[in-house]
Amino acid sequence: MHDYTYDIKTETLPSGRTYFTPDGDFPSITTILGKTSNQVWLQAWKDKVGEEEAARISKVATDRGTLVHSYAEKFFNKEDIYGDLATESSDVIQMTKDLIKLVKSGVTNIWGQELVLWSRDLQFAGRTDMVGEWKGIPAIIDFKTSRKKKYIKQIKDYFLQCAGYAYAHNELYGTNIKKIVIAITVENNEPQIFETNAVVHVPDLKYRIKQFYKICRITTD
């Protein structure tokens, strides 16, 4: 078992989410990916439904995702969640149960949850949902919620995010995590599982980080 550090201060600054780690102050991996992603599809969706409706849908999805994540984390910490869960909306109940069942089907050992990781080498930080073993293999296991089923081409940034977590965990704790597992619970549909090799995504991750810091230099000049 690794001696994990959980007490890391974070703050949302104008530049995005920042983690104040023992090795420096680093932007979150989600901030980096968000600021370097292609937003054309997002703007097209906002134009279609309207800014106000888009904001409402996004808030509902974010709030629900936070609830589902929280219940799943408590469950895997061996807390009793079902009394409180029964008071939630039907979609939260369904998506939480589906996520728990999906993760239980593969996770064989949990090393830590909601773990803050950072890389001094690549200058980023983040908080992973779960680190452990998936069918006996060391893995980063990430939980996602979605209104609709996802295709691989839609979740490239999920892979990059988790590749960052694997890279940082290996750097901090001397591990050799290569496996990424993305567990997606879908509203009114079957949950999904995606597995990939973290090493494959590191070059793209490094490129996006480089682009982020380039953007930061331009905006501060």
Q: Are strands 179-186 and 137-146 parallel, antiparallel or unpaired?
A: parallel
pLDDT at 28 over 80: yes
**Which range, of 29-38, 97-106, 132-141, averages the lowest pLDDT?**
29-38
pTM higher than 0.85, yes or no?
yes
Q: List, for residues 69-124, the tens digit of each pLDDT value.
A: 999 999 999 999 999 999 999 999 999 999 999 999 999 999 999 999 999 999 99
Tokens 């209104």 locate to 147
Give the distance, in angstroms, between the CA of residue 70 and the centroid of all CA atoms in the same chain. 13
The predicted structure's pLDDT at residue 221: 43
pLDDT at 212 over 60: yes
pLDDT at 151 over 80: yes
Q: List, for residues 121-136, the tens digit of each pLDDT value.
A: 999 999 999 999 999 9
Per-residue DSSP letter, 149: -
Q: How many CB atoms lie within 10 A of CB 112?
A: 17
Question: At 207, which amino acid appears?
Answer: Y
Q: What is the dihedral of CA 129, 62, 118, 219, to 10 degrees?
A: 170
User: Which residues fall within 8 angstroms of residue 166, CB to CB, at 6 or more apart?
Assistant: 140, 177, 178, 179, 180, 198
Q: What is the CA radius of gyration of the chain?
A: 18
In terms of CATH architecture, what is 9-220? Alpha-Beta Complex (3.90)
Q: List, for residues 152-180, the tens digit of each pLDDT value.
A: 988 999 999 999 999 999 999 999 999 99
The predicted structure's pLDDT at residue 219: 55
What's the whole-number average pLDDT of the chain?
91
The predicted structure's pLDDT at residue 2: 76
User: Which residues fall within 8 angstroms of residue 94, CB to CB, at 6 or more apart?
Assistant: 187, 188
Say how far apart CA 85 and CA 55 lie, in whole Å: 26
User: Which residues fall within 8 angstroms of residue 31, CB to CB, at 6 or more apart?
Assistant: 15, 16, 17, 18, 212
